[in-house]
Structure 1
Amino acid sequence: MKKIAVLITTLLFCTIGLFAQQKAFWNDIQVFKKQDSINPPPQQAILFIGSSSFTKWHDVQNYFPDYKIINRGFGGSTLPEVTGYVNDIVFPYHPKQVVVYCGDNDLASSDTITAATVANRFKSLFQILRAKLPNTSIVYVSIKPSPSRKKLMPKMQEVNEEIKSFLSKQKNTAFVDVYHKMLNADGSIMSNIFIEDQLHMNAKGYAIWQKEIQPVLKK
């Protein structure tokens, strides 16, 4: 009995250790893999990756009926977390275009996170994507303003400008400015394009995104 108790205790600690070592959003990635095993997505599609503004765009394909979209946005991810999963959510699909929305949560994660830090995180992701997908178009959708993160707007604009400038010097890229399209004429944030949490968008908000993103998508 004593040996069995020791064995059970050992197994319990091993299990706890495995969960402790499990990366954030690991379960989300496993869901994608299971979906792919049941219904393999096409190669050479347009791949959306990033954080919850893409995650919650459940009907994104309906907004772009003339394009094949694969949505692999997950949770409230940050750029390092997206970068950490590129082998799982990007390269297996051999996309002809990668559309990125991320950086919003990076800024919100800590007051010490600077705009330069977030921009450099995107540049790191870009270099990884470009190294393995040299002919793939890469699009960055600007960080959006939202009522719940109004205080971060100056940093958001800094990040957007830095990434826009960076991409202007790279081949086969595009920067999509949704930030200014989500503001009223007086510079205030539109109030009717968000759901109750005042962070994520409703259909009106996504309609703005559709209008700005579609012109840069590859046929």
Structure 2
Amino acid sequence: MLLCSIFTLVVGIGSVIAQEEERRFQKDIDAFEADRVENNIPEGAVLCVGSSSMRMWGNRIERDLAPLTVVARGFGGSKFSDVLHFFDELVAVYKPRAILVYEGDNDVGSGMSPEAVFGDFMEFRKRVEELDPEIRIYVIGVKPSLVRWNLRGEIAVTNHLIETACKKDPKLTFIDVAEFLLDDSGKPRAGIFLDDGLHLNNVGYHLWAAAVSLKIVPAESKFEAQ
């Protein structure tokens, strides 16, 4: 009886937390939808979704990925599971030709195993394929950071699992930003993070953008409307 009560309590707490997360992100989703309607956001663009690293890139992403037509839809604190939860409003409604995604950072940071993160990524891949099998997905690997340096092993395994899957799927491309953000000793470069030790500053985004644009711009430029 006691075990049943404890189980019920744990499930109840988990449900409350999930509902709180959903409400928190709902504000972002509602703002995205208002922007889509009011500003006639085009279909067939490169949809850029992800957590705060994607969101904070938003003020320069169009310039960094020019001449691509991009739609920035980063929402801070998100995980792959959140993108899945809001898939219809966040992804499907835009009818993208390609998706640039950055998730996994908060997933690993919250204690998820690399295998669990990979499982959510593959579910995301499945949902995209069901939406339109021709959509190309560019996956930015989880970046190294000062505050999560103790999780570098888990991050490395997560990236390896995703990169391996990308090599087997012609619609998937893995983008390794770590090689641009690490110094010659294999540690995060100095002077590329904000004071929180997690998010990139302008110097860091210059390196991040170089890594991403090197892969996605040549591949997607030929699909731009003439």
- Within-5 A mapping of 1:162-201: 162-201=161-200
Q: Aligned-pair RMSD on alpha carbons?
A: 1.5
Residue type of the partner of 2:185? D
Equivalent residue number for residue 28 of structure 2: 28
Deviation, 1:20, is 6.0
Q: CA shift at 1:63, angstroms?
A: 1.1
Q: 1:136-175, aligned counterparts within 5 Å?
A: 136-175=135-174
Which structure 2 residues correspond to residues 12-91 of structure 1 after superposition, within 5 A? 22-57=22-57, 58-91=59-92
Q: In 2 relative to 1, CA 22–136 (structure 1 residues): closer, same or farther, beyond 3 Å?
A: closer
Deviations 1:21-41 (A, max 9, x none): 954401110011111121011
TM-score of the pair, normalised by structure 1: 0.87
Q: State the shift of 1:215 in Å.
A: 3.0
User: How far, CA to CA, are the matches of 2:207 and 2:20 in structure 1?
Assistant: 40
C-alpha spacing 1:87/1:153, structure 2 compared with 1 (3 Å):
same
Partner in structure 2 of residue 96 of structure 1: 97
Q: Structure 1 residue 216: deviation in Å?
A: 2.8
Inter-partner Cα distance in structure 2 for 1:135 and 1:183: 34
Aligned mates of 1:117, 1:20 — CA distance in 2: 22
Instruction: Give runs of ≥4 in structure 1 deviating > 6 Å.
Output: none
Q: What corresponds to 2:3 in structure 1?
A: none
CA deviation string 1:121-153 (max 9, x = no partner)? 111111111111210111100000100111111
Count of residue pairs brought into register by the alignment:
199
Query: Is the 8 Å Cα contact of residues 178 and 212 (structure 1) preserved in structure 2?
Result: yes
Give the unaligned 5+ runs of structure 2.
Answer: 1-18, 222-226
Amino acid in the other structure paired with 2:165 = F
Task: Please say if residues 46 and 70 of structure 1, whose CA atoms lie closer than 8 Å, have aligned partners that are also in contact.
Answer: yes
Residues 146, 198 of structure 1: 8 Å contact kept? yes
Query: Equivalents in 2 of 1:179, 1:20: separation in Å?
Result: 33
**Partner of 1:116 in structure 2?**
115
The CA deviation at 1:168 is: 0.9
- State the distance in 2 between where 1:33 and 1:173 align: 27
CA distance in 2, matches of 1:63, 1:20: 34
Q: Which has the larger radius of gyration?
A: 1
- The 3-state SS of whatever aligns with 1:148 is coil
Determine the structure 2 residue equivalent to 1:209. 208
Query: In 2, are the aligned partners of 1:24 and 1:81 still within 8 Å (CA)?
Result: no
Output the CA distance in 2 between the equivalents of 1:51 and 1:30.
Answer: 16
Counterpart CA distance in 1 for 2:134 and 2:23 is 30
Tell me, in whole angstroms, the C-alpha distance in 2 between the residues paired with 1:119 and 1:65.
Answer: 30
Distance 1:214 1:21 in 2: 32
Summarize the Cα distance change of 1:21–1:144 in structure 2 as closer, same or farther, 3 Å threshold: closer
Which residue type is aligned with residue 167 of structure 1? C
Matches of 1:142 and 1:193 in 2, distance apart? Answer: 17
Which of 159-168 and 23-32 deviates more? Answer: 23-32
1:6-60 deviation per Cα after TM superposition (whole angstroms, max 9, x unaligned)? xxxxxxxxxxxxx869544011100111111210111111111110100111221
Distance 1:22 1:49, change over 3 A: closer
TM superposition shift of 1:67:
1.0
* Alignment partner, residue 8 of structure 1: none
Aligned mates of 2:187, 2:50 — CA distance in 1: 25
